[in-house]
Amino acid sequence: MSSSVQLKIRKNIPLAPLTTFKIGGSAKFFIEVKTKSELKEAIAFAKKNKENIYIIGGGSNLLVNDSGVNGLVIKLSNNSVKISKNALSAGAGAKLADALKAAAEKGLAGLEWTAGIPRATIGGAVRGNAGAFGKSMDENVNNVEIYDLKKNKFIKLTRAECRFKYRESIFKEKEDYLIWEVKLELKKDLPEKIKNRIMDNLKLRKSTPGFPSAGSVFKNLSLAEIKKANPELAEKLIQTGVVKRGAVGAGLIIDKTLDLKGKTIGKAKISEEHGNFIVNTGGASADDVVTLISYIKQQARDNLGIELQEEIQYLGF
Ligand SMILES: Cc1cc2nc3c(=O)[nH]c(=O)nc-3n(C[C@H](O)[C@H](O)[C@H](O)COP(=O)(O)OP(=O)(O)OC[C@H]3O[C@@H](n4cnc5c(N)ncnc54)[C@H](O)[C@@H]3O)c2cc1C
C-alpha cells in the first residue's frame, strides 16, 4: 500500500482574503498542510515542478504582490497546542491567541504581551520575533523544529541557534528554513494575575485602526541610531520623554516629526490612529502601499537623515 498522502494542491487561489491587509493577487499553487508527510509531499511537488516555495501564516504582517505569487504557497495548519509542566509546544500554524489562552488556563505566564495581536501564528511570530510592551517571542523559546528545504529534513534549533534580535531571527536570513513546531518555556503564576496582565495589555494596546492593516509597517528606531544620524533630533526626543527602553516608535516619527498622519496614495493611507500603520481604505493595491512606504522612507531620509526599515514582509515581489 502506498504511504503517499493525497495532495490537495489548488490553483490560482486569491491570497488577499488570507491576509489582514486584504491586498494582493493569487497564488499559482496553494496548499494547506497539517502533517509532516503532507508537508514533505507538498515540497516534493514544488521541487519536481521547479516551483518556488512560499509560506503564509496568519497573513498579519504581509503585503502580497498585486500580480500574485508565482509558485507554491504553503499555509501551515498544524495548529496543535500541548502543555506539559512549564512547557508549551505549538505547531507553527497554531494561533498566538490559542497558545495564550491555553497557557493562561494552566497558570503559565509569559505570553500576556501577545493579547490583542490578531490572527498571528506561532510560526510567523517566531520568524519575526514579534513583540510588544518590551517583551518578545524569543524570551520564551526553548527550541524550534524546522524543515530544512536544502537538506530535505527536519532539524531542531536551540534558542541560541535561532539568533534572535529585535524583530530578527535566523529564519529571516535563511529562506530555506521552514518553522514547523515551537517549544516555549513558560513560568508558573496565579491565573488571576495572568488574566489581569492580559487585561492591562489589551487596554494599553492603541485602538486598532478601523480599516484592514498589517500591523506596524516599520521597525522602531534605537536612540543610538537616531543619535548617530541626527543628534539634534535625538536630543529633542529625549527632552519630550518619548524614548522608551532605549527606542523610539517609528509611528511617532512618522506622525509627530514628519507630520504624515493621513497621507494617502491611491487607497492606502497612513492611519489616523497610529502613525506606523498603513491602512487599506478599500480596494488599495500593493502598488499603492509600496509607493506610500517609499514616500515615507524618502521623507525620513531627506528631512531627518534617518533610514526606516520595514517590519512588514513582502510576498511575491
Ligand atoms: C492589528 C495588528 C496588530 C499587530 N500587533 C503586533 C504587535 O504588537 N507586535 C508584533 O510583533 N506584531 C504585530 N502585528 C504584526 C503580526 O501580527 C506579527 O508580525 C505576527 O507575528 C505575524 O505572524 P503571521 O502568522 O501572521 O505571519 P505572516 O504575516 O503570515 O508571515 C510573516 C512572514 O513570516 C513567514 N512565515 C510565516 N510562517 C512561517 C513559518 N512557519 N516558517 C517560516 N516562515 C514563516 C512568511 O512567509 C512571511 O515572510 C500586528 C498586526 C496587526 C494586523
Cβ atoms of residues 60 and 120 within 8 Å: yes
Angle 232-233-234 from CA coordinates, rounded to 5°: 90
pLDDT for 146 equals 98
Strand, helix or coil at 170? helix
pLDDT in tens, 17-55: 999 999 999 999 999 999 999 999 999 999 999 999 999
Cell (9 digits) for 235: 536630543
Q: pLDDT at residue 245 above 60? A: yes
Atom 3 of ligand 1, nearest CA residue: 215
Tell which phi-psi region holds residue 71, choosing left (phi > 0), alpha (psi between -120 and 50) or beta.
left
Q: Over the chain, what is the mean pLDDT?
A: 95
What is the arithmetic mean of pLDDT over 168-186? 97
Cβ atoms of residues 54 and 73 within 8 Å: yes
Give the confidence band of 4 by pLDDT, cuts at 50, 70, 90.
low
Angle 241-247-248 from CA coordinates, rounded to 5°: 60
Q: pLDDT at residue 1 above 70? A: no
pLDDT for 204 equals 85
Q: How far is residue 46's CA from residue 87's CA, in Å, rounded to a whole number?
A: 34
Cα–Cα distances in angstroms (integers) from residue 241 to residues 88, 235, 247, 280, in the given order:
38, 10, 11, 31
pTM: 0.95
Distance of CA 289 to the CA centre of its chain: 17
Cell (9 digits) for 199: 487585561
Could you tell me which residues come within 8 angstroms of residue 93 by beta carbon, excluding any fewer than 6 positions away?
Answer: 34, 57, 75, 76, 77, 78, 79, 121, 122, 123
DSSP class of 114 = G
Q: How far is residue 149's CA from residue 147's CA, in Å, rounded to a whole number?
A: 6
Cα–Cα distances in angstroms (integers) from residue 100 to residues 141, 155, 182, 311, in the given order:
14, 26, 14, 23
Q: Which of 117, 122, 144 to mutate to test the pocket of ligand 1 (most atoms within 8 A of CB)?
A: 117
Give the confidence band of 2 by pLDDT, cuts at 50, 70, 90.
very low
Q: Which of 22, 33, 56 to mutate to test the pocket of ligand 1 (most atoms within 8 A of CB)?
A: 56
CA of 175 to the centre of ligand 1 (A): 15
CA of 198 to the centre of ligand 1 (A): 20
Given the CA of residue 315, which atom of ligand 1 is nearest to it? 49
Q: pLDDT at residue 208 above 90? A: no
